[in-house]
Structure 1
Amino acid sequence: MRENKEKLDDVLMELKAIIETSTDNIVIADGEGNILRVSDNCREIYGIAPEELYGKSTEQLEKVGIFSPSVTRRVLETKQKQQLIQHTKTGKVVMATGYPVFDKQKQLVRVVSYSHDMTEIMALKESFEKLTEQVKRYESELEELREKETRIPGVIAESPQMKRVITLVQRVAKVDTTVLLLGESGVGKNVIAKAIHRKSERKAQPFIEINCGAIPEGLLESELFGYASGSFTGASKSGKPGIIELADKGTLFLDEIGEMPLALQAKLLKVIQEKKITPVGDTRSKQVDFRLIAATNRDLAEMVREGKFRQDLYFRLNVIPIEIAPLRQRPEDILPLIRIFLAKFSKKYGLEKRVDESAVQALLNYGWPGNVREVENVIERLVVTTEEPVISIEHLPEALRKEAEAAEIPVSFPARKLKDILEEVEEKIIMQAYKECRTTHEMAKRLGISQPSVVRRLQKYRKIRDKGTSIQK
């Protein structure tokens, strides 16, 4: 008898040791679903002390939201092993596995369940799925751009200004020199940057982009240069590589470089000069090899004069400046952009749409302050919101329609003679060409008239004396 008691004590001791040392949370319930034993770590997962669970029904605990659903209840219902994802009152996500235990008469007398905290893993899984979707979206957009029949995929170059940009891009892509892209927001600086990368010797390596104006100043340094383990509160225990390090062997694109704080400009200049980075909180440097492309919509030269941008960094960046003209100065590109975005979003949303002549004319007359990005947004909105298969002028956004109508030359008949109206139109066209062209020969070629005719018309409208610059013949 005493020997049997000692054996029983040993078994109970072993059982207790198994329950207490298990990294999983263990719950043992009887054949009615009442809890008999739990491991101590249930407090961490379920937010309740072990002694508060003893004798409680798992069904009751499920109803009050301690955990849901109950794996014990599922085992009791099916009399088979069950595995499911539980959500706890503490906000944890738990993988629970329950096993039935039968006596000699094959009656279910116990349910033993093991619970493993999956909160962090599920969060990582969700992040991974989001990143996967983002990658698919980027791949789809990239494929759309590659299919366009242009000299550089994704770049419309019908205007003389964009043709000059494309010619320069093709030249500089072959060498590793630094490029500075200049232009208003939305003109497509990031598209040009990617085009340079795709045509370079580094095309098989990463293209890493960071918007210097989109990241808080306090985080920008660690994002750019990375950080060592434990370098600041909240830092990853294993440290983190920076954007510059990720661009090793590839292309680093610093968008909105004019927004970079002065304090970081000196450190960036050193990286450009030495091609070495020192992560935040570390004393060791890492060698990096990248091709640098920067972009801004600000006047960096003016910022240098105002003391808002380092002169030495400006000279380092301004090796090959490429200026991308705003869309209002290259009207030849507007119609092809409309066609491309119309086809893109019609395909994307499965909606066959076309734009009638009145709407096209209004879109051509509009100034597009948001440039290419605004064209894309407006066309997407029209494709989605227009119920009819044909998009007409009444479907256009009110602000766009009003500005486009105001841009048209008003014809007041019979108060004005046709000759006066034609001269007014001619004057506007001549002076617009004068602003955009560098020589009268270029103006003549663009307007389709002789160079002497250009000179006579400029003299006729007496505009040259009002300008602070001269034009070459």
Structure 2
Amino acid sequence: MSIAEIILETIVKTSNNNITITDEKGVILYTNSEHWTVYEDGPKEYIGKSIFELQELGILTPSITAKVLTEQKPIQIMQNTKKGKVIMSTAYPIYNDKGEIIRVISYALDRTEISSLQAQYEQLERKLKEYQIEMEELKGREDILYRSKEMQQIAKTIQRVAPTDATVLMLGESGVGKSMLARKLHSYSNRHKKPFIEVNCTTIPASLFESEMFGYESGSFTGAQKNGKPGLIEQAHEGTLFLDEIGELPLSIQAKLLKVLQEKKFIRVGGTKERHVDFRLVTATNKNLEEMVQKGEFRLDLYYRLNVIPLPIPPLRNRKEDISLLINHYIELMNKKYKTAKKLHPSLFEKLLNYKWPGNVRELENLLERLVLTTEEPIIRQHSLPTSILGDGSTHEEDVSLIENLITEETDLKTVLDLVEKWMLEKAQKHCKSTYEIAKYLGISQPSVIRKLKKHKEDLDNF
């Protein structure tokens, strides 16, 4: 044996890789015994054996060296062993000056553990998707909180149209609860066990909109994933696609979306294959789409497609009956979330009832979360409110201070009571437009209000 052969044999035997070298007939010349542990129960000595013989015995299924000798080119394959392992084998031919194969070098890598981990990962992905669908379903089944007739009608409409596939267009200011109502619609539908895909059209850059919505094939652009990526429309297959702020959708995408709605099929970016899709479309906007159509900013044909079931949602300031219900709900929710027991002082509660809520339900929820987190006392008072809500009016604490001063300065109970009564009437006049409203504000009868106004007529302004 020459020095070169000794060196080669030593390299093969001591290598951490599983290496086998055969001659042009497939007879094993060099191998490390550890190589065969991936095929058999222990190290084997196979020098001098034919790979064709080992293939017939089922030890190599198939033999990669046999394939190289047959096909005359480098090959990579996956092998399955008697032990149930998955082996990734790679083999390369070595040629002489005449272009004839004189040797074949093969490498074997045990992929069993990797394949097992991949299978576990895929199973976890499936489970996660199932849990996400369950969570979406549970979120959608939360009760719609309302007392107002307007919201009662909206709740009835949602229940009535949910079992159908009719397209719903939710109209209303930001924060009125369009997303929550879309989830509710999905939870009542026949698609509730399938995905609910929510897309806020304002958060996706125009340059990425097409690839995000329709997906892309591998190699479509720099930075694209190796195996491509399904778009949001494809992810919503058999479920519900909710496009929030649909008025922000670029005109180019509007045309493509319209085509999908009409034909129920699309092509990924960079692809040629048509893909069929089935989803229920729900959209929402805080813009006037009719005005946008007139200005050429929104397609008329798409508007007609979306406006099948219009659902106008009134702002919170126009349904005051719901405010107290929502306040109590979110205080309870935040106390549970942060393990606290905070309560609102009656004067603060009244202040919140009379606030206009330009940010609607979202503003109310965020404010109450902030108050629960930032207030140290168990009772949250008016001074904790931001100035935008507190305004320039006197707080309850100032009112209490006024009464305490009266009691300190006046020792006669009748005089103090008269002054407090007059002060309460003055306060009521600032908030009310009639004696009936004053009666409700003070918690007394309307005849009592008239008597007291007459009693303090000289001191009070004309009502």
Regarding TM over 0.5, the answer is: yes
> C-alpha distance in 2, partners of 1:298/1:386?
37
2:313 corresponding residue in structure 1: 324
Question: Does residue 401 of the first structure (1) align with residue 399 of the second (2)?
Answer: no
Residue number in structure 1 paired with 2:70 = none
Q: Displacement, 1:13?
A: 2.6
2:368 equivalent in structure 1? 379
Match of 1:349 in 2: 338
2:301 to 312, 321, 326: 312
Which of the pair has more CA radius of gyration? 2
Which deviations, in whole Å up to 9, do the C-alpha atoms of 1:324-368 show, x marking residues without a partner? Answer: 011111111111111111111111111111111011011111111
d(CA) in 1 for partners of 2:381, 2:349: 8
1:9 matched to 2:17 = no
Asked whether the 8 Å contact 2:140–2:186 carries over to 1, the reply is no
Q: Which runs of 5+ in 2 are unaligned?
A: 20-119, 396-420, 438-463
Question: Using the alignment, how far apart are the partners of 1:134 and 1:370 within structure 2?
Answer: 33
Q: Distance in 2 between matches of 1:383 and 1:256?
A: 31
After superposition, what is the alpha-carbon deviation per residue over 1:188-222, rounded to whole angstroms, capped at 9, x for unaligned? 00111111111111111111111111111111111
Q: Which residue identity is paired with 1:13?
A: I
Conserved? CA contact 2:241–2:281, under 8 Å = yes
* Aligned AA (1:254): L
State yes or no: 1:336 paired with 2:334. Answer: no
Task: Check the 8 A contact 2:133/2:194 in 1, yes or no.
Answer: no
1:397 CA displacement? 1.9
SS at match of 2:367: helix
Shift, 1:300, TM fit: 0.5
1:194 and 2:183 equivalent?
yes
Offset at residue 374 of structure 1 (A): 0.7
**Structure 2 counterpart of 1:155:** 144
Which amino acid counterpart does residue 287 of structure 2 have in structure 1?
A: R
By how many angstroms is 1:427 displaced? Answer: 11
Q: Which residue of 2 aligns with 1:210?
A: 199
Structure 1: segments with no counterpart, 5+ residues: 22-124, 147-152, 407-412, 430-473
What's 2:239 paired with? 250
Partners in 2 of 1:130 and 1:365 — Cα distance? 48
CA apart distance, 1:246: 1.1
Q: How many residues align?
A: 317
In the alignment, the residues of structure 2 paired with residue 138 and residue 393 of structure 1 have an alpha-carbon distance, to the nearest angstrom, of 41
Aligned to 2:165: 176
2:433 pairs with 1:425: yes
Corresponding residue SS for 1:210:
strand
C-alpha offsets along residues 225-252 of structure 1, whole Å, 9 cap, x if unaligned? 1111212222122111111111111111
Find the counterpart in structure 2 of residue 283 from structure 1.
272
1:299 to 2:295 alignment? no
Q: Specify whether residues 145 and 361 from structure 1 end up closer, same or farther in structure 2 by C-alpha distance, changes over 3 A only.
A: farther
Does residue 1:227 correspond to 2:244, yes or no?
Answer: no
**Closer/same/farther in 2, CA of residues 15 and 135 from structure 1, 3 Å limit:** same
Cα gap change, 1:396 to 1:139, in 2 (>3 Å): farther
**Residue 6 and residue 422 in structure 1: after superposition, are their counterparts in 2 closer, same or farther (change >3 A)?**
closer
The 1-side partners of 2:126 and 2:335 are apart by: 25
Say whether 1:166 aligns with 2:155: yes
Change (3 A) 1:6 1:306: closer
Match of 1:264 in 2: 253
- Percent identity, aligned pairs only, is 47
Q: CA RMSD in A?
A: 4.1
| 1:73-115 deviation line (CA, Å, top 9, x unaligned) | xxxxxxxxxxxxxxxxxxxxxxxxxxxxxxxxxxxxxxxxxxx
Amino acid in the other structure paired with 1:216: P
**Contact 1:366/1:403 (CA < 8 Å) preserved in 2?**
no
Q: What is the aligned partner in structure 2 of residue 363 from structure 1?
A: 352
| Residue 240 (1) aligns with residue 240 (2) | no
TM-score normalised by the chain length of structure 1: 0.59
After superposing on structure 2, the runs of 4+ consecutive aligned residues of structure 1 that deviate more than 3 Å are: 3-8, 15-21, 128-146, 403-406, 420-424, 426-429
Seen in structure 2, the aligned counterparts of structure 1 residues 228 and 247 have a Cα distance that, compared at 3 Å, is same
Larger CA deviation: 11-20 vs 383-392 = 11-20
TM-score by length of 2: 0.60
| Conserved? CA contact 1:156–1:336, under 8 Å | yes
